[in-house]
Amino acid sequence: MIVLDTGAILPRRGGIFGALSDAFWRHPKLLVFLMLTPPVLWFGIIYLGSLLALLLQSFYSLDEFSGLVVPEFTLSTYAQLFRPSNFDIIVRTVLMAAAVTLASGIVAFPIAYMAARYAKGKWKALFYLGVMLPLWSSYLVKVYAWKLILAKEGILNWVFESLRLTPLLDAFLSIPVIGGNSLSVSYTGTFLVFLYIWLPYMILPTQAALERVPVNLIDASGDLGATPFQTFWHVIFPLALPGLVAGSIFTFSLTLGDYIIPNIVGSSRQIIGQAVYAQQGSAGNIPLAAAFTVVPIVIMGLYLWMAKRLGAFDAL
Amino acid sequence: MTSAVSLQQVSRHFGPIRAMDAVDLEIAPGEFFAMLGPSGSGKTTCLRVIAGFEQPTAGHIEIFGETAEGVPPYRRNVNTVFQDYALFPHLNVLDNVAYSLMLRKVDKAERHRQAEDALAMVKLSGYGARRPGQLSGGQRQRVALARAIVNRPKVLLLDEPLGALDLKLRESMQEELKSLQRSLGITFIFVTHDQGEALSMADRVAVFSDGKVMQVGTPEEIYNRPNSRFVADFVGSSNLLPPDFTATITGQRAWASLRPEAIHITPSDGAAMQGRVTARSFMGSTVRLGLYVNGASLHAVVPASGNSANVDDMVGVLFAPEALHLMERET
Ligand SMILES: Nc1ncnc2c1ncn2[C@@H]1O[C@H](COP(=O)(O)OP(=O)(O)OP(=O)(O)O)[C@@H](O)[C@H]1O
Ligand SMILES: [Mg+2]
């Protein structure tokens, strides 16, 4: 046994870190204060502050003749949102976001399930790599790549042609609203690119939630007489639901806010992101742009409230 | 009569690890059967094989006379109370208990009524609306029990169900489990590494070591007539006597066990066998003495009254030769 020649109380550690450790131990709140100040400043002032400034702007209006913002409280800008041309934009965006979210959920779940339940070691690393790799390359590169894939002269058309399925594609493109001249200028094209770009944001939280489902709950369910399908439906799915909802918050709100993808791949009819971009840019109508930005916030609030009402967070 | 559970030369190997090695067990219907053994001896594996979570590497299993190999857990009328309860966190207590009935499409009112009955049986009436997270460890344990018995399985498996409870709760749960088992008439297979629990509750006990069953018998047999050093050592407070020592008394070279209560202390003068007191602890009505006799260490439990032997005193050591139980196994 090594006998150290020390007293019951060890001497102070020297140096600035020693002094700091002692000070933090004696005043734990000091540490919390120091750790929280920068993020609170950032989040509170810069982020929430600018959000509030934006909200404030939405209660101003634009003088139609002078083109100047009138800093007086009014609800007229919000009323403008309900003009058919603007309201269409909102409905279109929400439908697009809902479709993208639903499809991501359907595509992501099996992938996340496989990764969480069956992938081990090397395969798990491969899964993370596969899901994250697309996030490492530029968003613009990926969107333009999709434009090329979906274009009239693009690879997808070529595939359909080689399989002699062009009539099928043409029939699809002739469907109003979702069709168009080619996939790259149709809503379907926008939808496919959104689906591809946001998919990792759906897969990762879903996989994390599935991973946290304890194996013994699955055993217990089987033990009590549940077939694998019943176990999935009554145990695994409800426990993974918060992850799916978290993922859907990403895909839904990202779609509500994006303006680049529909600009590059899509029809000429705008969605909210593009409307905000146009209003605050060329049109110089900051109040209307601000009012448009409030829409996704309200919709997300409603969505979360509904999800909670439906019990999506019961497993948390 | 067919056994409730019959294991014939059942093995479960994980690569080189023999978690279960050629286990033979016959468990009778309605029996309270305990599996006792140190950590890692294969008790849980044995339960999991019976429940169907693990498939045996070799051997044959029958549950009430029907072959069970290859039958998935959900088709076995065998329920488990898991060591960590495994309650569903997203369901309230009532729905947890009613889970197996829900799977069988029993209608809602009926299954809630049956679940309430099961909760009443474990003395948890009125807790149905709570979430498992809002219960204490002992209460969760009862919910797990109610959930496992609500549809009256043929066999109930319990994996150290009392492990996480404090002593008092543990003792009251032991009694409740016992009376529950008597009133339901279900075969209970109970895993524990607490020998006191196994001996006091079970009709019969199997002692596991390294994936093998060392001995199966009633608590009295296991306690009084251990068949091996391992069992004597693990089950109890019996003295283990080496072959050299046994030979001087019986003339037979074998390991033997000797219960501490069978040893009497006499004055040392004129005693046939003498020993030195090495330790003395007061236990209330009895005194526990450590003795060093003829090169062997023994302990004796003697009445407290009239025993004044102190540490380092020489005393006479007396026991009937029949009290010495010779063991048939080498180890
Ligand atoms: N899935 C597995 N893979 C590999 N080895 C395993 C597996 N399950 C159990 N084992 C091994 O099998 C042996 C028996 O394990 P088991 O869980 O049955 O022990 P136990 O008697 O229940 O112990 P405890 O009292 O600690 O719960 C152990 O050595 C364990 O490491
Ligand atoms: Mg175990």
Least confident of A122-131, A280-289, B151-160: A280-289
pLDDT > 90? residue A308: no
pLDDT > 80? residue B207: yes
Residue closest via CA to ligand 1's atom 26 equals B39
List, in sequence order, every residue forming a beta bridge with B276; answer none if it has no partner: B292, B314
| Residue B138: per-residue pLDDT | 84
Tell me the one-letter amino acid at A113.
Y
- Residues B127 and B78 occupy one common structural domain: yes
B103 touches chain A (CB under 8 A): yes
> Coil, helix or strand for B260?
helix
- Among A223, A244, A310, the strongest candidate for a mutation testing the B interface, having the largest count of B CBs within 10 A, is A223
- Residues B249 and B176 occupy one common structural domain: no
Which domains are present in chain A?
A: 15-58 (no CATH), 82-309 (1.10.3720.10)
Answering whether pTM is above 0.80, one says no
- Residues B184 and B289 occupy one common structural domain: no
B196, B213, B233 - which closes a domain = B233
- Residues B61 and B96 occupy one common structural domain: yes
| Residue A111: per-residue pLDDT | 94
What does each C-alpha distance from B250 to A174, B223, B242, B247 come to in angstroms? 103, 21, 12, 5
Residue B331 within any structural domain of the chain:
no
**Smallest CA–CA separation between A305 and chain B, in Å?**
19
- Residues B142 and B252 occupy one common structural domain: no
In eight-state DSSP terms, residue B261 is G
* Distance between Cα B209 and ligand 2 center (Å): 13
From the number of C-beta atoms within 10 Å of its C-beta (0-12, 13-18, 19+), residue A202 rates as buried
pLDDT > 70? residue A61: yes
| Residue B310: per-residue pLDDT | 85
Q: Are B329 and B319 in contact (CB under 8 A)?
A: no
Residue B101 within any structural domain of the chain:
yes
- Token code pair at residue A255: 């779609």
| Residue A307: per-residue pLDDT | 85
B89 touches chain A (CB under 8 A): yes
- Among A216, A225, A239, the residue with its CB nearest the CB of B74 is A225
CB contact under 8 A, B103 and A217: no
pLDDT > 70? residue B247: yes
Residue B223 within any structural domain of the chain:
yes
Tell me the one-letter amino acid at B289.
L
Mean pLDDT value of segment A137-158: 90
Look at the block and give the residue holding tokens 């967070």: A313
Tens of pLDDT, residue by residue over B284-316, are: 888 999 999 888 888 888 888 777 788 888 898
CATH number at residue B59: 3.40.50.300
Query: Please, which pLDDT band fits residue A152 given cuts at 50, 70 and 90?
Result: confident
- Token code pair at residue A138: 């530029």
Q: Are A273 and A253 in contact (CB under 8 A)?
A: no
Average pLDDT across chain B, whole number = 89
In eight-state DSSP terms, residue B322 is G
Residue closest via CA to ligand 1's atom 13 equals B19
- Residues B38 and B187 occupy one common structural domain: yes
Look at the block and give the residue holding tokens 């001087």: B248
Mean pLDDT value of segment A21-36: 88
- Residues B151 and B190 occupy one common structural domain: yes
Residue B117 within any structural domain of the chain:
yes
- Residues B211 and B270 occupy one common structural domain: no
Total number of residues shown for chain A: 316
| Residue A316: per-residue pLDDT | 62
Q: Give the number of the ligand closest to the Cα of residue B12.
A: 1
Q: Provide the domain limits for residue B117.
A: 5-233
| Residue A268: per-residue pLDDT | 80
| Residue B45: per-residue pLDDT | 94
| Residue A231: per-residue pLDDT | 95
> Coil, helix or strand for B169?
helix
Query: Please, which pLDDT band fits residue B109 given cuts at 50, 70 and 90?
Result: very high
Measure the CA angle with vertex A105, ends A104 and A110; round to 5°: 105
Mean pLDDT value of segment A170-184: 85
- Residues B252 and B229 occupy one common structural domain: no
Query: Please, which pLDDT band fits residue A206 given cuts at 50, 70 and 90?
Result: very high
Tens of pLDDT, residue by residue over B132-181, are: 989 988 889 889 999 999 988 999 999 988 877 778 878 888 888 898 89
Neighbouring C-alpha atoms within 13 Å toward the C-beta of B280 = 14
Q: Are A66 and A60 in contact (CB under 8 A)?
A: no
Closest CA to B188 of B156, B165, B217, B222: B156
| Residue A5: per-residue pLDDT | 67
Q: Is the confidence metric ipTM above 0.85 for this complex?
A: no
Residue B241 within any structural domain of the chain:
yes
The domain total for chain B is 2
Cβ count within 10 A of residue B325: 19
Query: Please, which pLDDT band fits residue B245 given cuts at 50, 70 and 90?
Result: confident
Residue B56 within any structural domain of the chain:
yes
- Residues B119 and B216 occupy one common structural domain: yes
B233, B251, B284 - which closes a domain = B233
Residue closest via CA to ligand 1's atom 10 equals B19
Query: Please, which pLDDT band fits residue B54 given cuts at 50, 70 and 90?
Result: very high
CB contact under 8 A, A223 and B74: yes
CB contact under 8 A, B100 and A224: yes
| Residue A133: per-residue pLDDT | 87
CATH number at residue B311: 2.40.50.140
B183, B207, B233 - which closes a domain = B233
- Residues B12 and B74 occupy one common structural domain: yes
Greater confidence (B1 vs A50) lies with A50
Average pLDDT across chain A, whole number = 88
Mean pLDDT value of segment B33-56: 93
- Residues B43 and B95 occupy one common structural domain: yes
* Distance between Cα A173 and ligand 1 center (Å): 60
What does each C-alpha distance from A130 to A58, A203, A240, B14, B293 come to in angstroms? 42, 11, 21, 32, 72
